Amino acid sequence: MDVIELIKKEGRRQGLSNKTIITYTFCVKKFMNYNKQEIKFIKKQDIKDYLDYLLDKGATGNTLNVYVSALKFLFSDVLTKRIMLNIKYSKTPKNLPTFLTKEEIKLLINSITNQKHQLMIKVMYSAGLRVSELLNLKLEDLESEKNYGWVRKGKGNKDRLFILASSLKQELLDFIEKNNPKDYLFTNNKNQKYSSRTIQEIVKNTAKKLKINKHIHPHTLRHSFATHLIENGYDLFSVQSLLGHNSSETTMVYIHLANPNLTNIKSPLDSLT
């Protein structure tokens, strides 16, 4: 079944613009390349997993809504398949991002039984890395003796420095000595780079097992990293630099998440007495 051709035909039949048809076919191709299973076996959860994957990669609300529209068109209009996609992503960040408390992060990490998986999540949280940045890490990107490393060609095709936790240094060195990575720092049992979905499943399954009542995905670790830095007293511009944000306004949201007791912020009312 050539679904791409079917989308084009149905799009023209409904009078959609060429631009919309091109956009829909692009989104569906991306989804199918990610999912890699026959279209008739795809379930609603597969679509949600893909949207979470896009979210973890930093896709905006506008972008996610386009993908939802394209996939709705494919399943409802083209294939007449009953997959209800009542999902809408905010175009602007009206809601604050979800983050985990320090206690929840500790519990999450300690509950991962696979040692390599646990180390990957530790590195990801400790440095505030995106999923793609973690998976693309190479041995040559680490400056272990100086307690930092480099994200190469991250979002916006930029390089940036990230911090290596001192408490993680020896564990990383032991891991490197034992596994002797040739290319990517973390590879699966077939010596291939991990997929983003693997990281999603590690985080989601562990959070589910712990019954943490929050919508948690790998990017939650990055939100938690930034929030905890603010709580630990680090300034906005330091956090902005470590996250690789172009604008301080993007980083500003973490000030709203931080616990006022931990940032030593006092109400102006206290100065009146």
Q: Which residues are catalytic?
A: 130, 155, 219, 222, 245, 254
* CB contact at 8 A, 159 and 151: yes
- Rounded CA-CA distance 266/37 in Å is 55
* CB contact at 8 A, 199 and 52: no
* Cβ-based neighbour number of residue 146 at 10 Å: 9
* Cβ-based neighbour number of residue 76 at 10 Å: 14
Residue listed under structure tokens 């791409």: 4
By C-alpha distance, which of 85, 87, 63 is closest to 73?
85
By C-alpha distance, which of 218, 257, 204, 225 is closest to 96?
257
* Cβ-based neighbour number of residue 175 at 10 Å: 19
Q: Which helix (H) or strand (E) holds 163?
A: strand 160-163
Amino acid making up residue 214: K
Amino acid making up residue 135: L
Q: How many CA atoms lie within 13 A of 233 on its CB side?
A: 1
Residue listed under structure tokens 């931990």: 262
Paired with 142 in beta bridges are 149
